[in-house]
């Protein structure tokens, strides 16, 4: 039971801008959702988005990325931001 108490849970939210797509791979710059400071450049597979969103992925599109760990394990969620 002590191990369950000591588990570290976290959640970090970023937003990003896709700047290049090649062969199903996205390159993007990500920013902290709260401070808006640049965090890193990342590369990820377009399949991280849902099938519906994959058809809307394009260069200069904004997305959110939520990464974390909870009682069920680690997770990474990509979602396109609504265009307004």
Which of 83, 74, 29 is CA-nearest to residue 53?
Answer: 83
The answer to pTM > 0.85 is no
Give CA angle at 44 (41, 48), nearest 5°. Answer: 135
- Whether 35 is covered by a domain: the verdict is yes
- Whether 36 is covered by a domain: the verdict is yes
- Whether 27 is covered by a domain: the verdict is yes
Q: Does pLDDT of 1 surpass 80?
A: no
- Whether 79 is covered by a domain: the verdict is no
The DSSP-derived string for 14-31 is EEEEEEEEETTEEEEEEE
pLDDT of residue 8: 76
What is the domain range of residue 61? 19-68
pLDDT of residue 2: 45
- Whether 42 is covered by a domain: the verdict is yes
- Whether 8 is covered by a domain: the verdict is no
Q: Average pLDDT for residues 26-42, to the nearest whole number?
A: 97
- Whether 12 is covered by a domain: the verdict is no
Q: Per residue in 44-77, pLDDT tens?
A: 999 999 999 999 999 999 999 999 999 899 999 9
Percent of the chain beyond pLDDT 70? 89
**What is the number of structural domains in the chain?**
1
pLDDT of residue 57: 94
What's the rounded Cα separation, in Å, for the pair 13 and 79? Answer: 11
């Amino acid at each position: 039971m002590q191990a369950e108490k000591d588990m570290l849970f976290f959640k970090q939210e970023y937003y990003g801008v896709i700047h290049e797509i090649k062969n199903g791979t996205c390159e993007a710059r990500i920013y902290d959702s709260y401070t808006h400071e640049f965090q890193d450049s990342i590369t990820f597979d377009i399949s991280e988005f849902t099938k519906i969103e994959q058809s809307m992925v394009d260069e200069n599109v904004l997305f959110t990325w939520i990464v974390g760990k909870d009682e069920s394990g680690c997770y990474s969620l990509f979602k396109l931001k609504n265009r307004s």
